[in-house]
């Protein structure tokens, strides 16, 4: 099967040149048979389908159509992650993806984890079109570890026909009036947005006393929560069926609920929404390095960016990508990448005491 | 000579199996729990063998509280299920119906479908727009704007679904113990003037107790560590001890040390409980009967 895939594959010009170069080097040393051997090895090195560890929803082919055009019939093989810790657990368990997508706050940690290597920017021509500040956010110790792609917010989705917020605030996720209709995202970040609600200066790096206050607030308001969601599909289905009226959500959820004709709004809390940038990272010792770079290049294209914006309501790092819907632009601030930075929003960042946050969040759930 | 070699030969494979797939993994989990081994971590940390996670566990009201909550939920489920399954098993075993094996097959028919599907089907029934609430709205018992929202994503939902899922498991051991009951004892009881109720209370029930105890354990042990059902229909109030173990190992941020402590504690409690039940309820009799 692998062999037939190999012979049927169309070799791109870039790949061909590489083969020729590799073969040429070998020819100088070992003659024609070595040429054939080197060519075969090179081809084998890049054999098999690209392995991508990504979030559910990002497997649709429209998001990497230029890659499929370059490598027809070679749809990447996707494995799904529910969050960065889950991805890391999968990597530790032996999964060897070529490409993984953590969010910006995790780039340094992932780079230090030993599972990744920096990208070669020369192999990603579309990198020049990406928002420079986002590209910079993907750099660590002078190397390009992350290629910025999707960006957006963590904020509040609510039913306008059922919910009358007292203020544009994270407090809506605690509102006693809507007991049993609220969903929180199952993530240690809950302590962070609780910290913003409580007015702490550094919710990402709270003192012990502050953390305790955030935790106590979450524990005391847990009674109002109907669901801690980790699967976006579950949350959307509960929201669509009326089980939920208020949810900690992403822009794509607003788009999905609008498509279901629900009266919904996406609220940016006055304390600041949390924003994020998805970063493609390259697996260490990836046997499909060329393919991985082509995949990142495809994701960085205007075509992908526009499709992502139009269909998922997420922003894209490609400065030339523009959504067609005015609704989307105004509701999700898609034309203003600066909306994800201070003082408009708090960009997802490294949490120095992440393990402690995680334990405290687990205690909230267990309480 | 041959028979002396045959016993270890026959036992060898299962013992190796147990050793490799049960004892050794438990040892590994034990090593995780004292940080002698460690799981994935984003920040490289220094590791020294310690019992900190155990100390934290026994001093944390949160974990023990959650364990107790799960035990209570499992107890309720097990008792209710045994109470519901007993009459079914009784009817099948003692009514003398010729179709008892057909009925038994119908009873276990849901097992032919996926566990996940059976649990997810309850979401369709219990949701705000689900079958039950739609029926209540249709009959006018409940307004459509105010559905019974406690039906789903609640402790009740978890217990209901667990009970549904486990009823056939409970019915089977009870059925076996009742079917192997010596009917002459019932005839003797009748001859000696016992009413049907007296015969049931003094003969049938005591003799079927080992089956009932086995059935109870069949449900209690898996449900106390259950995490799939609560994660699908439980919501925050239906969150169980098994969910916490699962979360500590995977979601949020991996903390294999604490997760291992929780898992081993559960294993310990279940082992003690099983041993106690086996001793007092003479479960071995079920096998021999």
| Averaged pLDDT for residues B37-45 | 66
Q: How far is B44 from chain A (nearest CA, A)?
A: 8
Q: Is the pLDDT of residue B273 over 50?
A: yes
**Residues A302-336: pLDDT tens digits?**
999 999 999 988 999 998 998 888 877 877 777 77
In chain B, the domains with their CATH numbers are 54-288 (1.10.3720.10)
**Residues A190-199: pLDDT tens digits?**
999 999 999 9
Q: Supply A184's token pair.
A: 């929180």
DSSP character string of B215-265: HHHHHHHHHHT--HHIIIIITGGG--HHHHHHHHHSSSS--HHHHHHHHHH
Among all chains, which residue has been given the structure tokens 């040149």?
A: A17
Higher pLDDT, A34 or B286: A34
Q: How far is B245 from chain A (nearest CA, A)?
A: 10
Q: Dmax over Cα atoms in chain A, in whole Å?
A: 80
Cross-strand bridge partners of residue A182 = A225, A246
**Per-residue pLDDT, A44:** 54
Residues of B in contact with A363 (CB under 8 A): 60, 62
Q: Is the pLDDT of residue B87 over 70?
A: yes
For the domain made up of A51-149+276-326, the CATH class stated in words is alpha beta
* Domain residue extents for chain A: 2-40, 51-149+276-326, 152-275+344-366
Stretches where chain A sits below pLDDT 70 are 1-45
| Averaged pLDDT for residues B25-49 | 81
Q: How far is A89 from chain B (nearest CA, A)?
A: 6
CA distance A174 to A341: 25
Are A51-149+276-326 and A152-275+344-366 in the same CATH fold?
A: yes
Confidence of residue B49 (pLDDT cuts 50, 70, 90): confident
CA distance B175 to B91: 9
**Per-residue pLDDT, A25:** 42
User: Closest-CA residue in chain B for A239?
Assistant: B128
Give residues 86 to 105 of A whose Cβ lies within 8 Å of B. Answer: 86, 88-89, 91-92
Which of B66, B129, B252 lies at the smallest CB-CB distance from A85?
B252
**Per-residue pLDDT, A30:** 44
DSSP character string of A334-362: TT-GGGGSTTTEEE----TTHHHHHHHHH
Do residue B252 and residue A88 have CB atoms under 8 angstroms apart? no
Do A97 and A79 touch, CB atoms closer than 8 A?
A: yes
Tell me if the pTM is above 0.90: no
Q: Is the pLDDT of residue B255 over 80?
A: yes
Q: Percent of chain B beyond pLDDT 90?
A: 46
Cross-strand bridge partners of residue A152 = A276
Q: Which CATH superfamily is domain A152-275+344-366 in?
A: Periplasmic binding protein-like II (3.40.190.10)
User: Closest-CA residue in chain B for A234?
Assistant: B232
DSSP letter at A318 equals B
From the CB of residue A189, how many other CB atoms can be counted at a distance below 10 Å?
24
Do residue B42 and residue A83 have CB atoms under 8 angstroms apart? no
Pick the residue of A187, A366, A367 with the most B CBs within 10 A to test the interface with B by mutation.
A366
Q: How large is the ipTM?
A: 0.79
Q: Supply A78's token pair.
A: 């996707």
Which phi and psi (to 5°) does residue A140 adopt? Answer: -150, 125
CA distance A276 to A271: 16
Among all chains, which residue has been given the structure tokens 């669509």?
A: A240
Which of A188, A226, A241 lies at the smallest CB-CB distance from B252?
A188
Q: Supply B111's token pair.
A: 């097992």
Average pLDDT, chain A: 86
**How is chain B split among helix, strand and coil, in percent rounded to 5?**
75, 0, 25
A274-305 b/e with 16+ CB inside 10 Å = b? bbbbbbbbbbeebbbbbbbbbbbbbbbbbbbb
Higher pLDDT, A193 or B43: A193
**Per-residue pLDDT, A31:** 45
**Residues B153-210: pLDDT tens digits?**
999 999 999 999 888 888 888 998 898 888 899 999 999 999 999 999 999 999 988 8
Q: Is the pLDDT of residue B277 over 60?
A: yes
Pick the residue of A174, A218, A243 with the most B CBs within 10 A to test the interface with B by mutation.
A243
| Averaged pLDDT for residues B217-227 | 91
The answer to whether residue A242 neighbours chain B at the CB level (below 8 Å) is yes
The answer to whether residue A357 neighbours chain B at the CB level (below 8 Å) is yes
Q: How far is A175 from chain B (nearest CA, A)?
A: 16
User: Closest-CA residue in chain A for B130?
Assistant: A241
Which of A227, A243, A366 lies at the smallest CB-CB distance from B66?
A366
Residues of B in contact with A226 (CB under 8 A): 149, 153, 235-236
The answer to whether residue A354 neighbours chain B at the CB level (below 8 Å) is yes
Which of A109, A186, A362 lies at the smallest CB-CB distance from B42?
A109
| Averaged pLDDT for residues B143-148 | 82
Q: Is the pLDDT of residue B131 over 80?
A: yes
CA distance A120 to A142: 12
């Amino acid at each position: 099967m692998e062999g037939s895939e190999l012979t049927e594959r169309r070799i791109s010009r870039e790949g061909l040149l590489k083969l020729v170069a590799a073969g040429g080097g070998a020819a100088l040393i070992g003659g024609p048979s070595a040429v054939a051997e080197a060519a075969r090895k090179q081809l084998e090195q890049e054999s098999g389908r690209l392995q991508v560890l990504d979030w559910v929803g990002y497997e649709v082919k429209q998001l990497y159509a230029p890659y499929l055009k370059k490598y027809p019939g070679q749809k990447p093989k996707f494995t799904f992650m529910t969050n960065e810790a889950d991805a890391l657990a999968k990597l530790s368990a032996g999964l060897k993806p070529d490409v993984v997508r953590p969010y910006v706050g995790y780039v340094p940690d992932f780079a230090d984890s030993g599972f990744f290597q920096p990208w070669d920017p020369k192999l990603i021509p579309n990198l020049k079109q990406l928002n420079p500040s986002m590209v910079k956010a993907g750099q660590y110790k002078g190397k390009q570890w992350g290629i910025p792609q999707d960006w957006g917010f963590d904020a509040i989705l609510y039913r306008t026909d059922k919910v009358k917020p007292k203020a544009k605030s994270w407090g809506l996720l605690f509102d006693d009036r809507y007991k049993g209709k609220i969903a929180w995202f199952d993530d240690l970040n809950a302590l962070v947005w609780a910290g913003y609600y409580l007015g702490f200066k550094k919710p990402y790096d709270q003192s012990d006393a502050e953390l305790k206050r955030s935790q106590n607030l979450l524990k005391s308001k847990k009674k109002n929560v109907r669901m801690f969601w980790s699967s976006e599909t579950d949350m959307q289905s509960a929201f669509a069926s009326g089980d939920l009226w208020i949810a900690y959500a992403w822009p794509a959820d607003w788009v999905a609920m609008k498509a279901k004709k629900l009266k919904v709004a996406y609220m940016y809390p006055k304390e600041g929404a949390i924003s994020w940038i998805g970063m493609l990272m390259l697996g260490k010792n990836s046997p499909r390095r060329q393919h991985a770079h082509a995949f990142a290049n495809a994701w960085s294209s205007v075509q992908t960016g526009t499709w992502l914006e139009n269909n998922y309501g997420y922003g894209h790092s490609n400065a030339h990508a523009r959504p067609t819907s005015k609704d989307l632009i105004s509701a999700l601030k898609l034309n203003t990448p600066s909306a994800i930075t201070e003082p408009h929003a708090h960009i997802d960042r490294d949490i120095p005491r992440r393990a402690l946050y995680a334990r405290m969040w687990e205690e909230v759930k267990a309480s | 000579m041959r028979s002396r070699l045959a016993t270890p030969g026959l036992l060898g494979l299962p013992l190796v199996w147990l050793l490799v797939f049960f004892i050794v993994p438990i040892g590994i989990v034990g090593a995780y729990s004292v940080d002698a081994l460690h799981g994935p971590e984003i920040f490289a940390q220094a590791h020294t063998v310690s019992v900190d996670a155990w100390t934290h566990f026994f001093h944390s009201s949160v974990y023990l509280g959650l364990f107790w909550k799960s035990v209570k939920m499992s107890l309720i489920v097990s008792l209710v299920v045994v109470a519901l399954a007993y009459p079914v098993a009784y009817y099948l075993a003692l009514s003398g119906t010729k179709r008892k094996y057909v009925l038994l097959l119908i009873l276990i028919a849901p097992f032919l479908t996926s566990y996940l599907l059976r649990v997810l089907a309850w979401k369709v029934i219990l949701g705000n727009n689900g079958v039950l609430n739609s029926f209540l709205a249709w009959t006018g018992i409940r307004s459509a704007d105010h559905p019974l929202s406690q039906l789903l994503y609640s402790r009740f939902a978890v217990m209901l679904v667990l009970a549904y899922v486990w009823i056939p498991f409970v019915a089977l051991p009870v059925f076996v113990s009742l079917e192997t009951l010596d009917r002459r004892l019932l005839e003797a009881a009748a001859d000696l003037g016992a009413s049907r109720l007296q015969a049931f209370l003094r003969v049938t029930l005591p003799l079927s107790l080992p089956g009932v105890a086995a059935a109870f354990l069949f449900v209690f042990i898996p449900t106390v560590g259950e995490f799939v059902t609560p994660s699908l229909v439980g919501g925050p109030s239906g969150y169980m001890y098994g969910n916490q173990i699962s979360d500590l190992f995977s979601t949020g941020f991996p903390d294999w040390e604490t997760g291992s402590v929780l898992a081993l504690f559960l294993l310990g409690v279940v082992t003690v409980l099983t041993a106690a039940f086996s001793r007092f309820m003479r479960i071995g009799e079920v096998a021999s009967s």
